[in-house]
Structure 1
Amino acid sequence: MEIREPESAEAERIRAVVDSSMTTSFRLSPGRIDGITDGQFDDDAVTEKIDDEDTVLYVAESGENIEGETITGFVEGRLEDEWGEVNWLFVDPEHRGQGIGTALYDAATETLRDRGVDHVCVTVLEANTEGHDFVERFGLEHDGDLRIEVAGESLVKYVYTDSDVDVDLPTESRETDSAAGENAEPATFPETERTDGHLTATAGDETVYVDRGEEESGTAAPFFGTYEDEAHTEQYGYYCANCGSLDVSMDNMERLECSECGNSHAERSEESYDRSHL
């Protein structure tokens, strides 16, 4: 295995690694995954990142492919003032378990520190089912959230830092809902709180978990799926981000409506309704 900087001609293979990794490990629909790969990892986007002096890119190259060497992993880092951020890390599912992710992480963080940053953080999409455990192996702790816009999609990233870091998190060039501490309540999620690092709402005596990766548009604010468990396997219903209510109904035409504020959503596409993507 070799860790090296990528070339523009390798953008197609990088995108294939990103797509296969997200399909395997992210609770996102195929449409959302395509939106991220189209917006962040098409040929032009990768070339632009390679030419950007504030962006750090590495690929892992393996010689195990019978047709020759192939790219099996990709990491992207970014310099943000005194911060260095590892904001994307992907390993091809067929090559996991070989230390590729760790090697990429080490290469990116070492380069960021060599360029003079005071602190390094890692951001992981909330919908990444495996990325959070991976980051915590390095002793990093969930220290806040960022809402980012990718290809027209509003997504939440968890920010992980060393436990002894006590400075403002990097927020440049992104929309920030909450960059505060563990117990902060995101301003765009009324009537919610943090429970062991999870966004939760209360229905009577029951605590339900809000899945910010499962978003449905609304006339006033989005709706988000809610679950009875932290793993998001037993669906409870929907949460209205306009007023914080869990009293959201769905009619036989698959239209969502909040009984508290009237926020509503038109008929959903077949793709967004397919729970096999989650």
Structure 2
Amino acid sequence: MEIREPDPDESGRIREVVDSSMTTSFRLSPGQIDAVTDDQFADDAVAERLEDEATVLRVAETGDEIEGETVAGFVEGRLEDGWGTVNWLFVDPEHRGRGIGTRLYEAASETMRDRGVEQICVSVLEANTEGHGFVERFGLEHGGDRRIEIADESLVKYAYTDPGVDVDLPGESGTEDATEEAFPETEATDGMLTTTDDGETVYIDRDEERSGTAAPFYVTYEDEALTDQYGFYCANCGSVDISMDNVDRLECADCGNTHAERSGESYDDSYL
């Protein structure tokens, strides 16, 4: 395996890796995946980053004399305000289980530290079902959320940092504090987050979260003590008109945000 800078003519292969990785591991619709890849990993977007001195791009090349060499993984980091932020890390599902993700993360982190960054931050989309566990294996902890806009798609990123780090996270264009902005149609009532349904106050438990294709769902209750469950709240649009089928699949009737349980067997250390 070789970790190196990508060539400009490899942007097409990078996009293939991104698309296959997101299709396998992200709770996003095909349209959302296309929007992200079109916006972030088009030929001109990759070429622009290659020319940006504040951006660190690395690919993992694997193969042999018989099958030939191929790009099997990709990582992007950015230096800003004394931070090194790993924004994207993808490994082709066909090449997982070989330590490619770990090598890419270590290479990007080492490069950014060599360039003088003081702290490393890793951003993971909330919809990335396997990325959170991967990052936590390096001892990083969830330090905050951000809502980002990519090609008119509103997504939530989790920021992971070293334990005990108490500084402002690096800024990012088009982002908002998810803890402030991720709960439309709500208000604080005696320290609790609430919404209303047909004039009735509904209490939202922010500790009981279910992932969604557009934003998380949260369990709701009829009472402030959070004992009598009311239903679910959609953090994408603020609706409590949420249906659940017999396999615990949630769907918002207003915006189409969905959640489906994944088997515990689906997490297979595929990045490591």
Cα distance in 1, alignment partners of residues 88 and 120 from structure 2: 14
The 5 Å alignment of 1:188-203 reads: 188-189=182-183, 191=186
2:150 is the alignment partner of 1:155: no
| CA distance 1:237–1:274, change in 2 (3 Å) | closer
2:237 is the alignment partner of 1:239: no
The 5 Å alignment of 1:53-68 reads: 53-64=53-64, 66-68=66-68
| CA distance 1:30–1:255, change in 2 (3 Å) | closer
% identical aligned pairs: 61
Cα distance in 1, alignment partners of residues 133 and 145 from structure 2: 16
The 5 Å alignment of 1:92-171 reads: 92-171=92-171
| CA distance 1:187–1:45, change in 2 (3 Å) | closer
Partner of 1:39: 39
Cα distance in 2, alignment partners of residues 64 and 276 from structure 1: 38
Cα distance in 1, alignment partners of residues 235 and 86 from structure 2: 32
Cα distance in 2, alignment partners of residues 274 and 172 from structure 1: 27
Alpha-carbon shift at residue 256 of structure 1 (Å)? 3.8
TM-score norm. by structure 2 comes to 0.75
| CA distance 1:192–1:142, change in 2 (3 Å) | farther
* Secondary structure, counterpart of 1:62 in structure 2: strand
Higher relative contact order (CA 8 A, sep 6+): 2
Alpha-carbon shift at residue 165 of structure 1 (Å)? 1.2
Cα distance in 2, alignment partners of residues 93 and 192 from structure 1: 42
| CA distance 1:240–1:95, change in 2 (3 Å) | closer
Partner of 1:51: 51
Deviation string for 1:202-244 (max 9, x for gaps)? 95698752535435xxxxxxxx65579xxxxxxx6552666x5
Partner amino acid, structure 2, of 1:105: Y
Structure 1 residue runs without a partner (length 5+): 179-184, 194-198, 216-223, 229-235, 258-264
| CA distance 1:208–1:166, change in 2 (3 Å) | closer
**CA contact 1:210–1:239 (8 Å) conserved in 2:** no
**CA contact 1:156–1:212 (8 Å) conserved in 2:** no
Equivalent pairs counted in the alignment come to: 236
Deviation string for 1:66-122 (max 9, x for gaps)? 441000000000011111100100001011110100000000000111111111100
Show structure 1 runs of 4+ deviating over 3 A. Answer: 64-67, 190-193, 199-208, 210-213, 224-228, 254-257, 272-277
Alpha-carbon shift at residue 34 of structure 1 (Å)? 0.5
* Secondary structure, counterpart of 1:16 in structure 2: helix
TM-score norm. by structure 1 comes to 0.73
**CA contact 1:214–1:225 (8 Å) conserved in 2:** no
Structure 2 residue runs without a partner (length 5+): 196-200, 221-230, 244-250, 263-272
Cα distance in 2, alignment partners of residues 65 and 127 from structure 1: 37
Partner amino acid, structure 2, of 1:95: H
Alpha-carbon shift at residue 63 of structure 1 (Å)? 1.4
| CA distance 1:168–1:62, change in 2 (3 Å) | same
Cα distance in 2, alignment partners of residues 113 and 36 from structure 1: 28
Which stretch of structure 1 is more off in the superposition, 148-157 or 138-147? 148-157
| CA distance 1:9–1:139, change in 2 (3 Å) | same
**CA contact 1:148–1:155 (8 Å) conserved in 2:** yes
2:180 is the alignment partner of 1:186: yes
| CA distance 1:273–1:248, change in 2 (3 Å) | closer
* Secondary structure, counterpart of 1:171 in structure 2: coil
- Compute the RMSD of aligned alpha carbons: 3.5
